Amino acid sequence: LENHVVTMSARILNTEYIGNDWHLLRADMPVPGLGRLNVNSLLLTGEEPIVVDTSLAELGTAYIEKLEQIIKPSSIKWIFLSHVDADHIGNLRSLLEVTTESKILTSFLGFGKLMLQGFDASRIQVVEPGVEIFINGRQFKILKPPYYDAPETIGFLELNSKILFCSDCFGAVFNDEYSNIDEISDETLKAGLDNWIKVDTPWLKSSKKSWLVSEIHQIKSYDSKLLLSSHFPGKIEKIDRMLDSLLDVYVSISQDAGKELV
């Protein structure tokens, strides 16, 4: 890295309507030496609008303006935080100021970490994997994604639309810009997943193959229509293709894959 200085240059990208009142607010940021990483936030409009994660602080007003193109940000009632890493809570303080009646939904550890950062406990409601909540006319099953970089991480299955959100899981770092998994070759998809796993969840290579296979079966059992990652360009409709690619990447990096029966 030249002079050991890394300059961040986050970019706001397009917002994609993904159906059933869900919007994918896309941005990206550089991962030095590897390419660029998508950073997604979600918005579900309705009676009690929900934002899922709040993108990158560097975007600031550009992120709020993207929300404004769809709804009045002051009408947002829920801010679901998958975890409290900087790339997921970048605009949380400004959103809490704009949305005076909104509540944060996060896990118990997420709550603790937010308290340590000085957030107001009265604005936080704790949800844990396994529970189902009914908000904004939708039923959400809170779950733990297969792999993550922070133990407070939660995702969800939105049961009415069958949309599965898995936070950092299924993220990928690419050299080129894509808007959909269909534009990405098998080889590039696997390289992108591999890049992100090496950066974000290097522990995956030491996990048991039987564990990953059971996690993949679990994902398949949700019978979801759309898979969303915080760090993948666009929605993922071909979920089996993603799961097969993940297993291939795991086998290529695993310390266990050759030694264990599936």
Residues that bind Fe ion (CB under 5 A): 85, 87, 149, 168
Shortest Cβ contact with Fe ion: which residue? 85
CA distances in angstroms from 132 to 45, 53, 59, 84, 110, listed in the order given:
19, 19, 32, 21, 18
Q: Which is nearer to Fe ion, 23 or 231 (by Cβ)?
A: 231
Tell me which residue of 179, 188, 170 sits closest to 229, measured CA to CA: 170
* 49 vs 253: CA distance, rounded Å: 41
> Could you tell me the smallest distance in angstroms from the CB atom of residue 83 to Fe ion?
6
Q: Which is nearer to Fe ion, 168 or 215 (by Cβ)?
A: 168
**Which burial class, exposed, middle or buried, applies to 262 when counting CB atoms under 10 A from its CB (0-12, 13-18, 19+)?**
exposed
Q: Which is nearer to Fe ion, 79 or 135 (by Cβ)?
A: 79
> Could you tell me the smallest distance in angstroms from the CB atom of residue 163 to Fe ion?
18
Q: H or E element: which one contains 196?
A: helix 186-200
> Could you tell me the smallest distance in angstroms from the CB atom of residue 172 to Fe ion?
12
> Could you tell me the smallest distance in angstroms from the CB atom of residue 137 to Fe ion?
28
Q: Which is nearer to Fe ion, 6 or 251 (by Cβ)?
A: 6
> Could you tell me the smallest distance in angstroms from the CB atom of residue 85 to Fe ion?
4
Q: Which is nearer to Fe ion, 82 or 102 (by Cβ)?
A: 82
In single-letter form, the type of residue at position 46 comes to G
* 240 vs 217: CA distance, rounded Å: 10
Please answer whether residues 79 and 94 qualify as being in contact, where contact means their C-beta atoms are separated by less than 8 angstroms: no
Q: Which is nearer to Fe ion, 42 or 135 (by Cβ)?
A: 42
Beta strand extents in the chain (DSSP E only): 11-19, 22-31, 35-44, 50-52, 78-80, 103-106, 124-126, 132-135, 138-143, 155-158, 163-165, 173-174, 226-228
> Could you tell me the smallest distance in angstroms from the CB atom of residue 91 to Fe ion?
14
What radius of gyration, in Å, describes the C-alpha atoms of the chain?
18
CA distances in angstroms from 146 to 67, 85, 173, 198, 216, listed in the order given:
29, 17, 18, 16, 8
Q: Which is nearer to Fe ion, 46 or 112 (by Cβ)?
A: 112
> Could you tell me the smallest distance in angstroms from the CB atom of residue 196 to Fe ion?
9
